[in-house]
């Protein structure tokens, strides 16, 4: 009987913790150094948010917007899943985008949830993003110029087949090769930041030549365990390779955000703050 009561108390404490954690918002800070970075961009500050899905904050996103504003970013990158595939009301999303645009230029790339929208709803969403003064990179690039020097920001959208098979399952998913990226975006030119929602294809992103990759998608592995890290990927694979933080491959650095929305255990919602240095 005592063991049953103890287990019940532990379960209740766990539920309380999950409830409290679902309301937490942390800021994780990173530095990325590269001798390839043009000198004019030394010290550049980037805020990344990802995988917002249907999460909202009270008082018109007050907590999220205030925390981002305090970081004084030069750019805000939203790396996919700004909405959930079942959403049809984008009014709160529009409020968020307008407030973020008031802080710094906002650049969005697409995730698998945007790809799953109907053509009509995807067109509506893209129109809202652009009407808010934000940039959408859907398999294209934007050049950022400062004091005569420039860097490129590219947005890779991937395909539905990279996330689910034709039966809606997760077996035998289509791989991504460097030539696929060249087909969709073109050859890499100059110092390039790649926004790629899915981090599982780091090797191909590196072979394509991106110096820095910003990703999300994996939600930190949903739950996280000490030492082991993330537990589960959206593809229903246990202990995915890339879930959170910095990874390097062949001279490329990838930063994976655990995101903001969806179920999370020992894995609070996060804002990513990254500062670039020429070193």
Give per-residue pLDDT as tens, 236-249: 899 999 999 999 99
Percent with pLDDT over 90 in the chain: 81
Where b means 16+ CB within 10 Å and e means fewer, 57-82 reads: beeebeebbebbeebebbbbbbbbbb
Comparing CA positions, the residue from 34, 39, 37, 96 lying closest to residue 67 is 96
Do the Cβ atoms of 184 and 168 come closer than 8 Å?
A: no
Domain extents in the chain: 26-277
- Determine the angle formed by the axes of helices 119-131 and 91-101, rounding to 10 degrees: 30
Q: What is the pLDDT of residue 60?
A: 87
2 C-beta neighbours (distance < 10 Å), count: 6
Judge if pTM exceeds 0.85. yes
Do the Cβ atoms of 271 and 67 come closer than 8 Å?
A: yes
* pLDDT of 20 higher than 80: no
Considering Cα of 88, then 65, then 247, then 213, what sign does the dihedral take?
A: positive
Comparing CA positions, the residue from 173, 181, 237 lying closest to residue 204 is 181
* Mean pLDDT, all residues of the chain: 94
174 DSSP 8-state letter: P
CATH architecture of 26-277: 4-Layer Sandwich (3.60)
Q: What is the pLDDT of residue 103?
A: 98
Give per-residue pLDDT as tens, 46-59: 999 999 998 988 88
Backbone phi, then psi, for 82, in 5-degree steps?
-60, -30
Cα 81 to Cα 234: distance, rounded to the nearest angstrom: 13
Cα 127 to Cα 64: distance, rounded to the nearest angstrom: 23
């Amino acid at each position: 009987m005592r063991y049953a009561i103890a287990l019940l108390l532990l379960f209740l404490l766990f539920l309380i913790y999950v409830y409290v954690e679902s309301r937490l918002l942390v800021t994780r800070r990173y530095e990325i150094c590269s001798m390839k970075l043009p000198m004019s961009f030394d010290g550049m500050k980037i805020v990344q948010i990802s995988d917002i899905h249907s999460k909202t904050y009270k008082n018109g996103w007050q907590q999220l917007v205030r925390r981002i504003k305090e970081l004084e970013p030069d750019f805000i990158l939203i790396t996919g899943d700004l909405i959930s595939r079942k959403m049809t009301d984008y009014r709160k999303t529009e409020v968020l985008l307008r407030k973020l645009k008031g802080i710094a230029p906002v650049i969005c790339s697409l995730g698998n949830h945007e790809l799953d929208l109907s053509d009509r709803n995807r067109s509506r969403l893209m129109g809202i993003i652009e009407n808010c003064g934000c940039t959408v990179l859907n398999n294209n690039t934007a050049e950022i110029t400062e004091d005569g020097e420039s860097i490129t920001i590219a947005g890779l959208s991937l395909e539905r087949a990279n996330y689910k098979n034709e039966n809606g399952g997760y077996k035998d998913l289509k791989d991504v090769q460097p030539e696929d990226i060249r087909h969709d975006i073109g050859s890499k030119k100059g110092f390039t930041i790649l926004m790629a929602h899915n981090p599982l294809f780091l090797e191909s992103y590196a072979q394509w030549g991106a110096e820095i990759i910003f990703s999300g998608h994996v939600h930190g592995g949903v739950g996280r365990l000490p030492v082991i890290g993330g537990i589960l990927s959206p593809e229903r694979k246990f202990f995915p390779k890339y879930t959170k933080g910095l990874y390097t491959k062949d001279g490329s650095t990838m930063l994976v955000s655990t995101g903001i929305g969806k179920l999370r255990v020992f894995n609070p919602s996060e804002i990513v703050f990254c500062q670039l240095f020429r070193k």
